[in-house]
């Protein structure tokens, strides 16, 4: 059962790491079952899904709003079965990846090793390397134009000023990939947007952050197991 804990995003990361090492996992939401961390190649005739969490590498960015996508990938990794997964370097695509399954479906969980604004090349290289069509690419990111705590799923659309999405759209050559947004809201007053997204989540935000991260992870699983429309419905049902 999901716990509405008042945890910082540092604690979310530590909890995910703890589950990776211990094998413990939470329950609730869409089916979280996976069949292990076997490689995708040759394991299924079905095209895999590429699930990418956006953020910036480096310890100083770990707790920032711009790294919301990283937190969701951590949540997904921690809930893989029969054992939690971990990311490993994939030099050919300049990414960190984990090849596994969600339900019966092969997936590649990934983080580009570049900074946010240069996410496109690693994502396009991953899609090419693993033969993933654009419509099976899921990008998880922070969204200024979405109320805090909300999650939204959509296929295609504009980048709304998000440089990570802009880079990915250019590199893939299409807008038709899946976006899962975790709302962070607009900065207060006259605060600069760049400063806002690169600041840590506030104490008030840490009250809802674990639930929002879990909702985004559940929406991702719904997309993979039941289709993008199911992911949209799930996100909408969470209010």
Inside any domain, residue 162: yes
Q: Is 70 annotated as a binding residue?
A: no
Task: Give a yes or no: residue 128 inside a domain.
Answer: yes
pLDDT > 70 fraction of the chain, expressed in percent and rounded = 81
What is residue 207's predicted lDDT score, i.e. its pLDDT? 97
pLDDT of the residue at 25? 40
- Residue 163, marked binder: yes
Residue 90: per-residue pLDDT = 98
The answer on whether 177 is annotated among ligand-binding residues is no
Question: Catalytic amino acids?
Answer: 66
Low-confidence residues in the chain, pLDDT < 70: 1-45
User: How confident is the model at residue 32, as a pLDDT?
Assistant: 60
Distance, C-alpha 18 to centroid of its chain: 19
Q: What pLDDT sits at residue 160?
A: 85
Answer yes or no: is 166 within a domain. Answer: yes
Tens digit of each residue's pLDDT (9 = 90 or more) over 144-157: 999 999 999 999 99
**CATH number of the domain that 112 lies in?**
3.40.50.1470
- Flag whether 159 is in a domain: yes
Number of domains in the chain: 1
For 115, the domain range is 9-237
Say if 199 falls within a structural domain: yes
Question: Is residue 3 a part of any domain in this protein?
Answer: no
pLDDT of residue 157: 93
- 61 assigned binding-site residue: yes
**pLDDT for res 46:** 81
Residue 220 lies in a domain: yes
| Residue that has been written with the tokens 């990794």 in this structure | 77
pLDDT at 55: 98
* Residue 1 in domain: no
């Amino acid at each position: 059962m999901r716990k509405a804990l008042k945890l910082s995003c540092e604690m979310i990361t530590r909890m995910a790491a703890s589950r990776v090492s211990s094998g413990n996992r939470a329950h609730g939401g869409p089916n979280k079952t996976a069949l292990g961390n076997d490689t995708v190649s040759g394991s299924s005739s079905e095209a895999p899904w590429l699930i990418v969490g956006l953020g910036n590498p480096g310890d100083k960015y770990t707790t920032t709003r711009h790294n919301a996508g990283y937190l969701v990938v951590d949540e997904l990794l921690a809930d893989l079965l029969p054992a939690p997964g971990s990311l490993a370097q994939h030099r050919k695509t300049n990414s960190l990846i984990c090849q596994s399954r969600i339900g019966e479906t092969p997936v590649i969980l990934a983080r580009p090793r570049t900074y946010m604004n240069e996410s496109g090349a690693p994502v396009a290289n991953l899609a090419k390397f693993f033969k993933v069509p654009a419509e099976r690419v899921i990008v998880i990111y922070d969204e200024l134009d979405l109320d805090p705590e909300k999650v939204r799923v959509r296929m295609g659309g504009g980048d709304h000023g998000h440089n990570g999405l802009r880079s990915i759209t250019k590199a893939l050559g299409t807008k038709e990939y899946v976006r899962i947004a975790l709302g962070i809201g607009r900065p207060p007053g006259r605060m600069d947007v760049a400063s806002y997204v690169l600041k840590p989540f506030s104490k008030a935000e840490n009250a809802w952050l674990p639930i929002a991260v879990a909702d985004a992870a559940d929406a991702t699983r719904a997309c993979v197991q039941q289709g993008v429309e199911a992911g949209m419905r799930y996100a909408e049902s969470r209010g």
